[in-house]
Each structure stands twice: as C-alpha cells, then as structure tokens.
Amino acid sequence: MNTKETWIDETLNSLDGIHRAPGPPDLFIKIQARLDHTENKRSSRQLAFYWRVAAGLALLIALNIVVTLYYHHTPASPMATPSAVASDYFSYLSPIKL
C-alpha cells in the first residue's frame, strides 16, 4: 500500500473505539419544557397578529363609511352636454375679453 491509502485507512479507523457522550439526566425534560413554552409563545404571537389585522380592517371599513357619509355629494348637473364640456375644455381658444 502506498502512504495515501494507509493514511485513509488510519483516518477511517480512528473513530472505531468512540462512545456516545452521556448527557444530563434531566436534559429531555428541559427540552420538552422549552418546546412547550415556545409553542405557547408562538400561538400568542399569532393571535396578536390576527387581532392587529382585524383591527386594521375594521379601521379601514369605518374610515370608508365616514368618508362615504360626509363627502357624498350630488353633482350640480347630472349630465353635462357634450357642447358644454367642449366649450369648457377649449375655453382657452376663445379670445380674451377685457
């Protein structure tokens, strides 16, 4: 064997006698408690988000109602004739009277 293959075999065999490191006995309980706390926190965040969206939509609807009620006006002339619109639009073409 050449040195490269020997080095590869030594590297692969270097982990043969390794054992799993022992963890603290209450680690699983701590992880479960943290996950439960995170899920509760996430659900409260989602609930707060939904309330904010609902409040925004309610504000938008209320604002539309207020604008519709206070700024609704009827035009002075319901149908303007084409000649009236044309005379207003081309009024700059008429001579200036002093």
pLDDT in tens, 42-63: 677 788 899 999 999 999 999 9
Give yes or no for residue 10 having a pLDDT over 80. yes
- DSSP label of 17: T
Ranges of each domain in the chain? 39-68
Give yes or no for residue 84 having a pLDDT over 70. yes
Compute the distance between CA of residue 65 and CA of residue 87 in angstroms, rounded to an integer: 37
Compute the distance between CA of residue 45 and CA of residue 73 in angstroms, rounded to an integer: 44
